[in-house]
Structure 1
Amino acid sequence: MSHQQLDDLNIESQDVLITPRALKEKLPLSDQAADTVYRGRQQIRDILDRKDPRLFVVIGPCSIHDPKAAMEYAERLKTLAAKVDDALFLVLRVYFEKPRTTVGWKGLINDPYMNDSFKVEDGLNIARKLLLDVADLGLAAATEALDPTTPQYIQDLISWSAIGARTTESQTHREMSSGLSGPVGFKNGTDGSLDVAVNAMLSVRHPHRFLGIDPDGRVALTTTKGNQYAHVVLRGGGGKPNYDSVSVALAESALEKAGVSTNIMVDCSHANSNKDPGLQPLVMENIGNQILEGNTSIVGLMVESHLKEGNQKIPANLDELEYGVSVTDGCIGWDTTEQAIVNLADKVRDTLPRRVRD
């Protein structure tokens, strides 16, 4: 009796990629880059521990598709960061992977040339090189940890990670987050519910064991220590915002009842701005007002911003792409970004030092 094929019936091909160790040897950290990442993580930890009174702001393009534009944005942000450093710690948003409800461009690592060629190894090289350039500039970087394999390639260059609304409930992402080297923010569910983020925070602080890859790309049983710097990110949901003072107070109560960190970060985009990027500065203004009125739980913000406002579809002819414009969610432009950041810093500068814990 002949055996019929049972394995890989729907697999067309498998290409072996460069190992994490080989990529890091090819594109190693400089001393400056390593110092930037170390200091970035520590400053965020100090903010979460209330040793540092500042707010940290993860800000930048919805996604990275053009390294040249990303570096121009990074250089501008570095200059702006120095102006507001006494009130705000600015962290560059460098998102290389995009979750998709159905189909669409999955980000620079998966499809760096935006033509469905899926040159993933090229994407990994481009992503790591950009992160090195950003770190050498002295700017801390943040990303969304989406594919559980990717952190082995770039996590040594990341100061803060997000787990998105679609994956906060995922056991795989909770386990992975328990081993990430920097602080991690869990977004509330797409329906606005906080329970999934609370459960994620309860999970991530404990050790886990799961299948992963080692630095040489081999499948390995990975044992983590647990991540003590997880916190919630309010991003709205179900068509409603949740950054207002009542929603924040309800979140504080739920987090305290669960016995997890009451540190709260607000995502100014998504449902909190009704998917209108132009409303993000109003959300920032509202958060500043809450802090003036005595709020002590909000420690950070997330803002989607690019060189130019709005967004664009990916054209068939990539030469038609407009420079400095997002190809995913709409962003506020640079002039608006700079004004909103300066306004927030000016508003909270004198109040923030009172929030430091002894």
Structure 2
Amino acid sequence: MSARVTDLHVARNVPLPSPARLQAEIPHGEGRENFVANSRATLRSILAGIDPRFLVIVGPCSIHDTEAGIEYAHRLAALAERLRDKLYIVMRVYFEKPRTTVGWKGLIMDPHLDGTDDIPEGLRRARHFLRNVIDVGLPTATELLDPITPQYIADLISWSAIGARTAESQTHRQMASGLSMPVGFKNTTSGDLVAAINAVKAAARPQTFLGVSEEGIASSVSTTGNPDCHIILRGGDHGPNYDETSISSAKAALEKGGVAPSLIVDASHANCGKDCAQMPAVFREIVRQRAAGELAIRGAMLESNLVAGNQAFPRPLDQLVRGQSITDSCIDWETTEALLHEAAGKL
């Protein structure tokens, strides 16, 4: 008898619906398609320094309660309309969460929040939620973690990020080269910026790699390169990088690397020491620099939810506080509204 040499550690292998089938089941529709195309064009213009408005990518650290998420979207859409002359507001709609060790990996991976990992249902919920956010008039932003995911949801996304843990990944750089929206690469968790600069340069080039077709078939994907990639400063193990000295150093490094000095600065993560109480002060400093003439800062990111802080998870679902993060801590809605009004006034 031959020894078994495959799938020794695989418990199950469940086929997914093809991207084309899921898109047909939950179509974007012509109106949403036009909205996404127009919002991407606006983002390109802001990132190129043509549109003078300040980009703010704001919203929950992750979406786990879609009902509370849509309530947040309605509030944010009303605020975005009031401040649209100064700010261009895009909602964070994050469905995939990288984990340092273990933990909840996001709505796509575990939509029922119970460890059953019903990915087909997670993809369906993600598409429905993205459509609902667009319907209230907000562009969407997410982090793309798994290279197969974009085939299922990218048509409903206006901006995406490659996170600090994956900016050095060749797979993610190749994926970004074929994405149809602007993509921000974060500096690594150590704070290293060189990896992100190299990622922007690689993603701008044509690439060929293994992927999945619209029909769900393994395929060879060739891209033309994505010219709309840029850098996100999020701090690192050695401290924050939103101060004037860090901004100046980042601009110099970008120019040396032949990359346009277009920066988005994250007011959360290591830039606030993962303490949401510090986030408003960080955001105010980012806005102050922009208002003082630092035009390389094209925008900022904020983690915000209906309720401040975060809550331990897993726990019984009926014990969850509605509108409070189960991943990183966030500022609450009232603080968010006040900060964005203040920023618009200063800009």
Give 2:311's aligned residue: 312
AA matched with 1:295: E
| Cα distance between partner residues in 1 of 2:325 and 2:84 | 27
**SS of aligned partner of 1:222:** strand
Gaps of 5+ in 2: none
Give 1:184's aligned residue: 183
Give 2:116's aligned residue: 117
How far apart are residue 239 of structure 1 and its match? 4.1
Q: Residues 95 and 142 of structure 2 are in contact (CA less than 8 Å); yes or no, is this contact kept in structure 1?
A: yes
Give 1:42's aligned residue: 41
| Cα distance between partner residues in 1 of 2:274 and 2:320 | 22
Q: Which TM-score applies when normalising by structure 2?
A: 0.99
Q: Residues 230 and 261 of structure 1 are in contact (CA less than 8 Å); yes or no, is this contact kept in structure 2?
A: no
| Cα distance between partner residues in 1 of 2:170 and 2:45 | 28
Give 2:271's aligned residue: 272
| Cα distance between partner residues in 1 of 2:314 and 2:297 | 39
**SS of aligned partner of 2:91:** strand
| Cα distance between partner residues in 2 of 1:261 and 1:114 | 41
Matched, 1:82 2:74: no
Q: Residues 95 and 126 of structure 2 are in contact (CA less than 8 Å); yes or no, is this contact kept in structure 1?
A: yes
Q: Residues 163 and 185 of structure 2 are in contact (CA less than 8 Å); yes or no, is this contact kept in structure 1?
A: yes
AA matched with 1:158: I
Q: Residues 234 and 267 of structure 1 are in contact (CA less than 8 Å); yes or no, is this contact kept in structure 2?
A: yes
Q: Residues 175 and 204 of structure 1 are in contact (CA less than 8 Å); yes or no, is this contact kept in structure 2?
A: yes
| Cα distance between partner residues in 2 of 1:153 and 1:145 | 11
1:1-358 correspondence runs (5 A) = 2-348=1-347
Give 1:354's aligned residue: none
Give 1:353's aligned residue: none
Aligned length: 347
How far apart are residue 149 of structure 1 and its match? 0.3
| Cα distance between partner residues in 2 of 1:23 and 1:296 | 41
- Deviant stretches of 4+, over 6 Å: none
| Cα distance between partner residues in 2 of 1:73 and 1:111 | 21
| Cα distance between partner residues in 2 of 1:51 and 1:315 | 45
How far apart are residue 283 of structure 1 and its match? 1.3
AA matched with 1:20: P
AA matched with 2:227: Q
| Cα distance between partner residues in 1 of 2:246 and 2:314 | 40
**SS of aligned partner of 1:221:** strand
How far apart are residue 294 of structure 1 and its match? 1.9
Task: Between 30-39 and 20-29, report the one with greater CA deviation.
Answer: 30-39
**SS of aligned partner of 2:253:** helix
AA matched with 2:132: D
| Cα distance between partner residues in 2 of 1:292 and 1:306 | 26
Q: Percent identity?
A: 49
Task: Between 307-316 and 96-105, report the one with greater CA deviation.
Answer: 307-316
Give 1:351's aligned residue: none
AA matched with 1:345: A
| Cα distance between partner residues in 2 of 1:290 and 1:14 | 51
| Cα distance between partner residues in 2 of 1:220 and 1:291 | 44
| Cα distance between partner residues in 2 of 1:212 and 1:305 | 34
AA matched with 1:214: S
How far apart are residue 106 of structure 1 and its match? 0.3
Gaps of 5+ in 1: 349-358
AA matched with 2:313: I
Q: Which TM-score applies when normalising by structure 1?
A: 0.96
Question: What is the root-mean-square deviation of aligned Cα atoms in Å?
Answer: 0.9
Q: Residues 315 and 321 of structure 1 are in contact (CA less than 8 Å); yes or no, is this contact kept in structure 2?
A: no
